[in-house]
Structure formats: structure tokens, C-alpha cells
């Protein structure tokens, strides 16, 4: 079944590759993923299963971008609606809108520095089967007592459903009169990420965490808060350390 789906995707990708340049279906960074999914005939939804025939998760990237690849975005297990709490308690005011924002990336290795005041860090607690987000007031050298965590059970379920097979698509990008277009040129199959390997990669700093609480810059929601989806990510240069990589 899985081999059949992967072969089907490869065939569909070659059709898209032969189209050459196609206009973006959405503004901003998310345009590349939305454009590719539309070409594949995938309807945007909140389905917990993988994007392509419930087997392959799709990830798209501009060829020259140095960004990380998002494995998945999902709110922490506890507490509920924690991003609203983080935004209000630790966010810095956006210069345009005045809305509080947080853009911060961190790992298990050490506390990072956010606005020269706070530090964020991941902490894998294997005894209690949780990954904690720790926050420190760097000026006071004091840990926040609030508990924020993902349970191993929740993470395991996501990884087994969304990260078993990932199609990683690279595209060339160009802009003409503010309209972006893409040429999808390469697809790779990322596989081999078990839950146990995920935990090891988090502990070793190969998989990091990203908080992305921003603000809409345009459109009908301009000036309103925007939760871009905090989650676990990996640098492109580390993909072959986290996954088995095979060009399709």
C-alpha cells in the first residue's frame, strides 16, 4: 500500500514538474505549500492524517531558502491555549500594530535569548514521559514555575501519523510585480523517523522548537494577532541526520 502511494505521488509530481512556472495561490511564505497542494488536488483541511492519500506528508521549500523544515505544528498538551498566555506574558510589542509577538527558536542544548530578557529551552523528561518548555527570566536568573509540556503519547501519535513518510519538495521562485511564481524541480522522500529517534534528535539538538506568534501584515485581518503554529523543526542541513533521504 505504502509503495503504491509513493509511486503514485512520484507520477503526480512529474506532471507538476513538467508544468514549469506556476503562479502562487497565496501571498507570503505559505504560498508555496498551498500552491503545490492545489496542483496535487489536495483540499486544505485540519485532517490529522498525512496530506497525500493519508500516507505522505507534504513539505515544500524555496530552493535557495536557508530556513528550517517544519515536522509538525501542534499546541502543547498542557496547558490549553498556552500560546495566548505566552504572548501576553512574554511577548514584545510589534512596532506597527502594538500587538505582542514572539518569534523564537530553541533546543535542549541551552537557554536561548529573547529580547535580552527571557530564555527558552526544551527539556526531555523521560521518567515522566514529557517534553517541557522551560522559560527563564535571564535578568533575575529565575525559572518560571508554569508547567508547559507535550506528553510522549501525544507526540508519538503525531509522529506515527504525520512523519512516517514525508515528501520534501524544492521549488525555484521568482517575483514579477509582487506576484510570486514557482517551478517545482525536486522531490525527496524522508523516512525512518521513529518516535524513539525523534526523542534522541530532540535531546541532541537536531530537532528544535519554534514559537511563532505574529501579526497579520495585510488583508482583512491586518493588525490582528496571528498564531503561525508553534512546533518542531529541523534545519535543512540536518535532514539526513534525522531521516533516510531518497530522491524521487
pLDDT of residue 216: 76
Long-range CB contacts for residues 108-117, cutoff 8 Å, separation at least 24: 108/202, 108/203, 108/204, 108/205, 109/205, 111/136, 111/138, 113/138, 114/90
Cα 128 to Cα 77, 108, 125, 135, 189, distances in angstroms: 14, 16, 6, 19, 33
Phi, psi of 47 (to 5 degrees): -60, 135
Range of the domain at 211: 2-247
Which band of pLDDT confidence, cut at 50, 70 and 90, is reported for residue 229?
confident
Lowest mean pLDDT among 2-16, 54-68, 101-115: 54-68
In this model, does residue 189 exceed pLDDT 70? yes
Question: What's the structural domain count of the chain?
Answer: 1
The torsion angle over the Cα atoms of residues 51, 54, 56 and 61, rounded to 10 degrees, is 10
Residue pair 191/246 in contact (Cβ under 8 Å)? The answer is yes
In this model, does residue 30 exceed pLDDT 80? no
pLDDT of residue 43: 76
Considering the chain, what is the average pLDDT of its residues?
A: 91
Please report where in the chains the cell 493519508 appears, as a residue. Answer: 54
Lowest mean pLDDT among 41-55, 75-89, 224-238: 41-55
- What is the DSSP-derived secondary structure letter of residue 223? T
Work out the average pLDDT over 177-191. 92
pLDDT of residue 29: 65
In this model, does residue 127 exceed pLDDT 90? yes
- Can you count the helices (H) and strands (E) in the chain? 6, 15
**In CATH, what number is assigned to the domain containing residue 238?**
3.30.70.3570
Which band of pLDDT confidence, cut at 50, 70 and 90, is reported for residue 220?
confident
In this model, does residue 238 exceed pLDDT 90? yes
pTM > 0.75: yes
pLDDT of residue 217: 78
pLDDT of residue 28: 64
In this model, does residue 60 exceed pLDDT 80? yes
Among positive and negative, which fits the CA dihedral 183, 56, 155, 110?
negative
Q: Which three cell numbers stand for residue 62?
A: 524555496
Work out the average pLDDT over 160-169. 94
Amino acid at each position: 500500500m505504502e509503495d503504491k502511494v509513493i509511486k503514485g505521488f512520484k507520477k503526480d509530481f512529474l506532471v507538476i514538474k513538467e508544468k514549469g512556472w506556476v503562479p502562487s495561490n497565496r501571498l507570503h511564505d505559505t504560498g508555496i505549500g498551498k500552491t503545490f497542494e492545489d496542483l496535487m488536488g489536495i483540499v486544505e483541511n485540519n485532517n490529522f492524517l498525512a496530506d497525500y492519500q493519508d500516507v505522505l506528508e507534504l513539505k515544500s521549500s524555496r530552493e535557495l531558502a536557508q530556513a528550517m523544515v517544519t515536522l509538525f505544528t501542534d499546541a502543547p498538551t498542557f496547558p490549553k491555549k498556552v500560546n495566548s498566555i505566552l504572548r501576553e506574558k512574554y511577548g514584545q510589542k510589534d512596532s506597527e500594530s502594538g500587538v505582542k509577538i514572539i518569534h523564537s527558536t530553541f533546543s535542549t542544548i541551552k537557554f536561548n535569548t529573547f529580547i535580552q530578557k527571557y530564555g527558552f529551552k526544551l527539556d526531555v523528561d523521560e521518567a515522566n514521559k514529557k517534553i517541557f518548555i522551560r522559560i527563564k527570566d535571564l535578568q533575575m536568573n529565575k525559572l518560571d514555575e508554569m508547567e508547559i509540556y507535550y506528553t510522549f503519547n501525544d507526540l508519538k501519535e503525531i509522529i506515527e501519523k504525520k512523519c512516517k513518510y514525508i515528501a520534501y519538495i524544492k521549488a525555484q521562485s521568482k517575483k514579477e510585480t509582487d506576484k510570486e511564481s514557482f517551478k517545482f524541480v525536486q522531490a525527496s522522500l524522508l523516512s525512518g523517523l521513529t518516535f524513539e529517534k525523534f526523542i534522541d534528535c530532540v535531546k541532541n539538538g537536531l530537532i528544535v522548537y519554534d514559537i511563532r506568534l505574529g501579526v497579520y501584515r495585510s488583508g482583512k485581518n491586518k493588525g490582528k494577532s496571528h498564531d503561525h503554529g508553534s512546533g518542531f523543526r529541523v534545519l535543512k542541513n540536518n535532514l539526513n541526520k534525522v531521516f533516510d533521504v531518497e530522491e524521487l
